[in-house]
Amino acid sequence: MSEWAIVDKTWSYWLGWAWTISSLVLTTWIVMQRRAPVSTLAWIITLNLLPVIGLAVYAYFGPQRVKRQRLKRWHKRAALMSQEDLKTLLKDRPEPPLWATQHSELIERSCGLQLASCEEVTLLPSGGATLDTLLKEIAAARKHIHLEYYIFEPDTTGLAVLNALVDKAKEGVRVRLLVDAIGSPVLCSRKGQRFLADYLDAGGKFSVFHPRKLDLLRPLVNLRTHRKIAIIDGRVGLLGGINITDEENERVRPKEAYRDTHLLLRGGAVRWLQYLFLQDWGYAGGGQVTDEDMLPDYAPGPVPVQIVASGPDNDSEAIHRAMIDAIHMARERIWLATPYFVPTESALMALTNAALRGVSVKLMVPEKSDSRVVTAAARSYFEELQNAGALVFEYTGRMFHAKTLLIDQHYGMVGSANFDNRSFRLNFEVAAVVFSGTFNEQLAAMFERDLSECKRVHANRRSPAPQRLFEAVARLASPLL
């Protein structure tokens, strides 16, 4: 045997042992996290079949959790409020509709946010309408402005908001802006500091959620704040799917802007949005907020609204549970709009069960999302839905980005969460559940308008064999998406 053959055999021997040991260690590590079996198996297969590439993918995109000690500090800081403030926060507690009593209790127990009320709930059906509303409310601010966004771009839309914030900061209004490091890379970069100079000079406060430098080897890709929240004077709140970017503003990009939905609230429920913002602000290093006017008093409003929040700091998966429970409650209709449809097994089962028992189930998704893999994974579920009796529609033209759910005649949900594993389990999300027949009608009317821009996916549609294979493979990766 030649010298090179001996060296080659030695390397193969040691590489084999290294692969075996690393495989055992990583497999044990993943199993001990006690996650969903399907997700666990998917990661084990990925890491073992692709030992180098799989490890890199896991390091950046694998399931992660905020450390317990960090969470303890977070919640300790997030108390933030005096006992008097907490009493104010908790005292607006209307009775939910009889049919929603247990659903409301489920939400409260899973995320700690109780039912409140609003005097006004307004649906904002586009980025342009949302920007106009936000700028109007910012201009009317007298005490404080709090903004938290996944994407905040310093483009035409972003600069309009920043300039409005600068004006208010100069007037003495306390302004705080929190953005996500991954979603808003330009604003968080050195280059982006020039866009913030006037804002900071005017006294505005700025903080970054999970900055990239937090962990260079494992930059917390999954633990993002995907929330889009604005609170003005503690009295007006906005939330939904619309970020601050030209990509979602049809006034700037009339043909390409995303079709999206947002919500404006006035009343007691806004205090729970304030509570969430203060949690995230304190956790992101913005410091403790000791202002005395964070939670103004309200007279009870006529519309019951419950804020739902979820994130990887809590295993309760409140938005996931709320959606599935609402689907189980349905007796007449379930109309779901989402840009990314990669359901968990329990969510898919809930939808197909509803369709099988005669509920009108309609799903609206984009014909082409901004991810080919997610689009393919979504299509792999269509046949099961259609076989159960559900109708599937694809929104053509612009990217469809709305995240809404309406149930029967008196239930509506609008928020930041997609109908997928990442929103249910890996990112920080927020939604508002509105128990109102009037709001339900408005949501239904918007859904039906969107249907005019859709084409129905027929059950007998047959894609080419390579496309079907791609969809099947994408579905295998769905627990990782």
| Among 401, 410, 420, 450, the one annotated catalytic | 401
Is position 408 annotated as part of the catalytic site? yes
The amino acid present at 458, given as its one-letter code, is H
Measured distance CA(206)–CA(195) in Å, rounded: 12
| Among 210, 228, 262, 362, the one annotated catalytic | 228
Residue pair 97/344 in contact (Cβ under 8 Å)? The answer is no
Is position 325 annotated as part of the catalytic site? no
> CA angle at residue 472 from 466 to 477, to 5 degrees?
125
| Among 92, 180, 233, 260, the one annotated catalytic | 233
The amino acid present at 265, given as its one-letter code, is L
Which residues is 116 bridged to in the sheet? 305
Burial of 59-72, coded b for 16+ CB within 10 Å and e otherwise, reads eeebbbebeeeebe
Q: Could you tell me if residue 397 is left (phi over 0), alpha (psi between -120 and 50 degrees) or otherwise beta?
A: left
Measured distance CA(432)–CA(307) in Å, rounded: 5
Measured distance CA(196)–CA(219) in Å, rounded: 24
| Among 168, 403, 410, 420, the one annotated catalytic | 403
**DSSP string for residues in 274-309:** HHHHHHHHHHTT------TTSS---PPPSEEEEEEE
Residue pair 152/187 in contact (Cβ under 8 Å)? The answer is yes
Whose structure tokens read 């128990």?
435
What's the N-to-C CA distance of the chain in angstroms? 49
Residue pair 279/148 in contact (Cβ under 8 Å)? The answer is no
CA–CA distances in Å: residue 458 to residues 164, 233, 386: 47, 49, 8
Among candidate residues 319, 306, 338, the one with its CA nearest the CA of residue 426:
319
Measured distance CA(364)–CA(371) in Å, rounded: 16
Is position 210 annotated as part of the catalytic site? no
| Among 226, 320, 362, 410, the one annotated catalytic | 226
Is position 144 annotated as part of the catalytic site? no
Is position 233 annotated as part of the catalytic site? yes
Helix (DSSP H) and strand (DSSP E) numbers for the chain:
18, 17
**DSSP string for residues in 193-215:** HHHHHHHHHTT-EEEEES-GGG-
Residue pair 148/277 in contact (Cβ under 8 Å)? The answer is yes
Is position 226 annotated as part of the catalytic site? yes
Helix or strand (DSSP H, E) at 170: helix 156-170
List active site positions.
226, 228, 233, 401, 403, 408
